[in-house]
Amino acid sequence: MGSTGSVSSWSESLLVAMIQYPVPVITGPEDIQTQVKQICKAVDNTKAGYPGLDLIVMPEYSTQGLNTKIWTYDEMLLTVDSPEIDQFKEACVRNKVWGVFSLMEKNDVPGLPPFNTAIIINDQGEIALHYRKLQPWVPIEPWYPGNYGMPVCDGPKGSKLAVCICHDGMFPELAREAAYKGCNVYIRISGYSTQVNDQWILTNQTNAWQNLMYTISVNLAGYDGVFYYFGEGTVCNYDGNVLQQGHRNPWEIVTAELFPRLVDEARKNWALENNVFNVGCRGYVGKPGGERENYLTWVKDLAEGKYQLPWDKDIQIRDGWEYYPDGVKLGPLPTEESAKTLVGTSS
């Protein structure tokens, strides 16, 4: 069930708003400050327009952009304790709303590449969830692979929230992990360009259906001088049907009214459709209680650190390829003159 974007919500409904944020063009730290102020203003304005709003979602790269030449320089990185994040916290408290925000996070270990991170801030200004992208978009993104797994947190209106970032959503295993931990509203923030527009919608739907959970997904929108980012915020019902679909407009706000309790009831009462349960107790009609022994070779191999495809020896691209032939460079930001030649890319 979903509305067309009511300004109010009732005790059981989760009113969400996803902002198709204009793709930012970032060349230096001062541009990050501009984006932070603009994002906070967007939180203020959206809450003013939708007083019953419970959750607002900003896309991947909305804070620090996606310029491949400066992604890994120290001056362009934040931590969850940075003043910029404090501004996001203040915006959530000021508007009594939960928020999902993107940051490129400095690695805890000096000398290692940064993490691509999403945080959920609650309406008290606390970080309720801290997620690091598990599947960076290879061979382009230089992010260090996430090390926090797939956390789930209690959200407003009976929701249990998880966040994945962009390419993460192409992996059904990650959506299943979130559902296995109880997630009933799966959030996806992205900075995709138009090459994967169709796959974006397909995976949002399949992640919802295969796990009986809502998926709410939002992408950057607009042109950065190199690529066009398609926006198309998508809300999928737990039966896989699309409830709301944004267009390609920068600043479009995609809203929907969700009912997390209905997800919980479906998971308890559905049978044929309850694949997230059925996978772990196969054939419970023919064998009471079902077969619980693991029959998936790849699951066993992955758990033992032995994951290898039959065509592994034929796979050609295993590193940064032409994007980072000498490895990721960490250190001081290039000079202002050289920064003028920097260009962006997609995630």
Active-site residue list? 60, 133, 166
Output helix, strand, coil percentages for the chain, rounded to the nearest 5.
Answer: 30, 20, 50
For 263, phi and psi rounded to 5 degrees? -60, -50
CA 211 to CA 205: how far, in whole Å?
10
Quick one: CA dihedral 203, 214, 17, 166, positive or negative? negative
DSSP state of 314: G
Structure tokens at 153: 């947190």
Three-class secondary structure of residue 104 per DSSP: strand
Quick one: CA dihedral 314, 320, 324, 330, positive or negative? negative
Burial of 128 (0-12, 13-18, 19+ CB in 10 A): middle
Residue 252 in contact with residue 228, Cβ under 8 Å?
no
Residue 26 in contact with residue 268, Cβ under 8 Å?
no
- Other CB atoms within 10 Å distance of the CB of residue 317: 9
Angle (nearest 5°) at CA 120 between 118 and 123: 155
